[in-house]
C-alpha cells in the first residue's frame, strides 16, 4: 500500500527544455522513472504545448493534469516564472481524470461533464475530487454545482483556479497531452489511502451584517436597499469618493466581503475587485441575493496563522499516519498581502505538518474546498483569499 512522490522544478526560459529538465529532476529525486500521475503547475509565460512536449519527452504515457499559475510552490518555497512537477506512484491510490470545456458559456455543464468523465473509471473508495478551472472565465460556484450533481453535495471537492502571473489575460489547463483555456481539468482520487484537507483564510469581520437586497451573479447592486459602495464609503470616510477611480487591488484584497453560510463555522470570502459608476460592487465570485455580508479585514499575522491551522487540520485527519505528499492551493491575494513573507507561509505549513514530505502547489485565482473539511461533511464551496492544504498518506489500519 505504498505511496511514493517526488518533485522536479525548472526555471529554464525555454519551455521545452524547462519541461524536460523538471521531468528529469523529478525522476532523479523520486528515484523512479514511471509514475501513476503527474501534477504540473507552471508560469503562463511558457508556451504550454512546448512545455508539455518537454515533459513528455521524459515521461510519456503518464496521466498528466495541472494548470498555469500566479506563482509556484514547492517544499523549497515560492517561485515565479518557473515550472513544478509532482509525480505520484502507488499500488493503493487510484486516479481517474476528466475534462469539461466551455466554462464561460455554461460552467455548470462543464463541471458536470468533468466529474462525469472521471467517475466512468468506477474507482472504489472515492476520497476527493480535485479541479483546476480557468480562473478568468469560470463561474466558480456554478462549476462546483455541476460537479456536485454527479458526485453528491457532501463529497469533498478541492482545487485552485488557474492563473497567469497577475496578467489577467489568459490561463491554461493541462490535461493529458494538451493545454486548454476556458476549461476545467479534474482528477478523482480513490483506493486504499488516507487523505486530509485543511481550509482557512484568516480574515475576521468588522462592523455589522448587511443584506444583499439586489444582485446579479457576482455583482452586488444594493446592500440594505442602498448603493453597495456605501459599505466602503461608511468605513473609509472621505477617501471613499475616490474609490471608483482606484484599481481596488489593495482595498479589495485587504478588505474583502465575508458571506455568511448557514451552519458553517467561517464566512466565505468574496473579493470585491471593482466599483462601478452606478455604485455596484463587482466580486470575484457570485453573491446571491438575500445573502448576509460583512466587511472583513486581515493582517500578515492572521494570514500566517490561518495557513498553520489549515495544515494542522489536514494532518489531524490522517490519524497519525505519515504524510507522503502535500498539495497546496493558495490564493494570489494572500501572496500580495504577505509580500516578502510569502515564503514564510510555506515554512509555517511545513512546520505544522511536522515531517518532511514532497510538497507542490500554486497561487490561484480562486479556491475550491469544504468549509468543514476535517469532518468531510457539508458542501464544498468556491473561495477567495483562502489557503487549502491536501495531504496524502498510506492506510496501514485498513482491515485491522
Nearest to 273 by CA among 239, 244, 236, 301: 244
Q: In terms of residue numbers, what domain contains 372?
A: 3-200+302-394
Indicate whether 254 and 317 sit together in one domain.
no
H helices of the chain, where?
15-30, 48-56, 107-119, 140-151, 230-236, 249-254, 300-316, 332-338, 342-353
Nearest to 327 by CA among 391, 374, 386, 371: 391
Indicate whether 279 and 323 sit together in one domain.
no
* Residue 206 placed within a domain: no
Domain count, the chain: 2
Nearest to 275 by CA among 256, 248, 297, 295: 248
Neighbours of 26 (CB within 10 A): 27
Indicate whether 15 and 149 sit together in one domain.
yes
Residues 6+ apart with CB under 8 A from 247: none
* Residue 94 placed within a domain: yes
Under a CB-based contact definition with an 8 Å cutoff, are residues 164 and 70 in contact? yes
* Residue 273 placed within a domain: yes
Output the pTM of the full model: 0.94
Under a CB-based contact definition with an 8 Å cutoff, are residues 155 and 129 in contact? yes
Nearest to 204 by CA among 348, 288, 303: 303
User: Which of these three, 297, 321, 339, is where a domain ends?
Assistant: 297
Indicate whether 196 and 215 sit together in one domain.
no
Residues 6+ apart with CB under 8 A from 231: 210, 223, 281, 295
Phi, psi of 95 (to 5 degrees): -130, 145
User: Which of these three, 280, 297, 314, is where a domain ends?
Assistant: 297
Per-position pLDDT tens, the chain of length 400: 489 999 999 999 999 999 999 999 999 988 888 899 999 999 999 999 999 999 999 999 999 999 999 999 999 999 989 999 999 999 889 999 999 999 999 999 999 999 999 999 888 889 999 999 999 998 899 999 999 999 999 899 999 999 999 898 999 999 999 999 999 999 999 998 999 999 999 999 988 999 999 999 899 999 999 999 999 888 876 555 565 555 566 777 888 999 988 877 788 999 888 888 898 998 888 999 999 999 999 889 999 999 999 999 999 999 899 999 999 999 999 998 999 899 999 999 999 999 899 999 999 999 999 986 444 455 899 999 999 999 999 987 654 4
Rounded distance between C-alpha atoms, residue 319 and residue 252, angstroms: 38
Amino acid at each position: 500500500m505504498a505511496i511514493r512522490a517526488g518533485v522536479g522544478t525548472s526555471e529554464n526560459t525555454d519551455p521545452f527544455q524547462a519541461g524536460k529538465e523538471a521531468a528529469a529532476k523529478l525522476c532523479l529525486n523520486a528515484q523512479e522513472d514511471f509514475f501513476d500521475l503527474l501534477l504540473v503547475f507552471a508560469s503562463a509565460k511558457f508556451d504550454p504545448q512546448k512545455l508539455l512536449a518537454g515533459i513528455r519527452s521524459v515521461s510519456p504515457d503518464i496521466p498528466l493534469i495541472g494548470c498555469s499559475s500566479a506563482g509556484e510552490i514547492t517544499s523549497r518555497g515560492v517561485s515565479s516564472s518557473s515550472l513544478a512537477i509532482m509525480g505520484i506512484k502507488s499500488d493503493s491510490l487510484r486516479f481517474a481524470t476528466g475534462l469539461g470545456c466551455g466554462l464561460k458559456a455554461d460552467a455548470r455543464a462543464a463541471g458536470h461533464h468533468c466529474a462525469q468523465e472521471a467517475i466512468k473509471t468506477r474507482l472504489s473508495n472515492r476520497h476527493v475530487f480535485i479541479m483546476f478551472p480557468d480562473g478568468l472565465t469560470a463561474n466558480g460556484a456554478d462549476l462546483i454545482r455541476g460537479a456536485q450533481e454527479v458526485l453528491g453535495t457532501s463529497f469533498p471537492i478541492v482545487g485552485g483556479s488557474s492563473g497567469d502571473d497577475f496578467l489577467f489575460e489568459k490561463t491554461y489547463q493541462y490535461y493529458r497531452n494538451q493545454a486548454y483555456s476556458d476549461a476545467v481539468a479534474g482528477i478523482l482520487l480513490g483506493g486504499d489511502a488516507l487523505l486530509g484537507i485543511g481550509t482557512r483564510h484568516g480574515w475576521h469581520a468588522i462592523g455589522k451584517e448587511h443584506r444583499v437586497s439586489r444582485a446579479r451573479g457576482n455583482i452586488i447592486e444594493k446592500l440594505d436597499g442602498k448603493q453597495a459602495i456605501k459599505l466602503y464609503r461608511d468605513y473609509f470616510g472621505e477617501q471613499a469618493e475616490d474609490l471608483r477611480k482606484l484599481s481596488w487591488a489593495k482595498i479589495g484584497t485587504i478588505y474583502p466581503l465575508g458571506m455568511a453560510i448557514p451552519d458553517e463555522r467561517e464566512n466565505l470570502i468574496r473579493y470585491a475587485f471593482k466599483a462601478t459608476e452606478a455604485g455596484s460592487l463587482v466580486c470575484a465570485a457570485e453573491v446571491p441575493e438575500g445573502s448576509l455580508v460583512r466587511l472583513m479585514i486581515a493582517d500578515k499575522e492572521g494570514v500566517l496563522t490561518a495557513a498553520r491551522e489549515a495544515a494542522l487540520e489536514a494532518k489531524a485527519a490522517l490519524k497519525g499516519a505519515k504524510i507522503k505528499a502535500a498539495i497546496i492551493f493558495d490564493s494570489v491575494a494572500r501572496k500580495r498581502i504577505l509580500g516578502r513573507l510569502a515564503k514564510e507561509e510555506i515554512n509555517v505549513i511545513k512546520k505544522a505538518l511536522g515531517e518532511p514530505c514532497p510538497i507542490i502547489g500554486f497561487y490561484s485565482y480562486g479556491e475550491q474546498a469544504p468549509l468543514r473539511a476535517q469532518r468531510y461533511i457539508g458542501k464544498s464551496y468556491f473561495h477567495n483569499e483562502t489557503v487549502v492544504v491536501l495531504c496524502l498518506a498510506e492506510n496501514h489500519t485498513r482491515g485491522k
